[in-house]
Amino acid sequence: MKSKNKKLVLICFLFTVGLLLISPAINGIEEEKTKSTIADKDTFVDAAHPSLNHGYAQFLSCGFGHFYEIREAYFHFSFSDKPENIVKAELSFDIWGFYQTFPLTLSIVEESWNEYTMNWTNKPAYGQIIGQIFVNSSDIYKFNITSLLTARTEISICVNITIDDIVNDYAYITSTENSTTTNDAPQIIWTYLEMVPEGGIPSYNIFIILGIISIIGFFFNKKIEKG
């Protein structure tokens, strides 16, 4: 009888350990993660050279030139694979090469355009102004556009200085062609929530363990009573 009890206890113990090893952890926590969508098209246009295309430019100019000629930068992003559970989406530009503090205006462009044929003469019209970035030192500047992307799978943005904000200065924005790292490329940075498994014993395993302990305790009690 003692041998049978020992065998039963051993079987219960091994069964418990096996369940703990093969049972998946179902607990989890939501963590913030990020991914980037790099601009698939970028260029700039220059009123001083209305027929010149800058699709291969290493850096994009926007503002007013030395003789107040207008320069505008254009960016296009496609994001059919945008993440779910988005917390925020931000435009990110590496802006440098200026010597004054001034605002750059961001506008949505609804018309399509070609990076390698667009110039000042055939540039698309820009529409809704979505905000401004105030530049005061060379840096990577971000602008929140979360609400604009809910129903979109692509977006075009124009960056320029409006007549109301005219200054005799212009800034450079690092282009996709000239970016040396992901950080300085023109991009949309997505911040989103993702469920990540959490360590520890799943709640249903605790009940299994308690049940098996109860069984072992029952047989030990029987043994004591008989003894």
pTM for the whole structure: 0.75
Assess if CATH 2.60.120 describes domain 31-195.
Answer: yes
Sequence ranges of the domains in the chain: 2-27+200-226, 31-195
pLDDT tens, per residue, the chain with 227 residues = 555 555 555 555 555 555 555 555 455 688 899 999 999 999 999 999 999 999 999 999 998 876 768 999 999 999 988 999 999 999 999 999 988 888 999 999 999 999 999 999 999 998 999 999 999 999 999 999 999 998 899 999 999 988 776 777 889 999 998 877 778 999 999 999 988 776 555 555 555 565 566 566 555 555 555 55
Q: Helix or strand or coil: residue 154? A: strand
Which of 217, 224, 204, 216 has its CA nearest to residue 13? 216
What whole-number distance in Å separates Cα of residue 134 and Cα of residue 154? 25
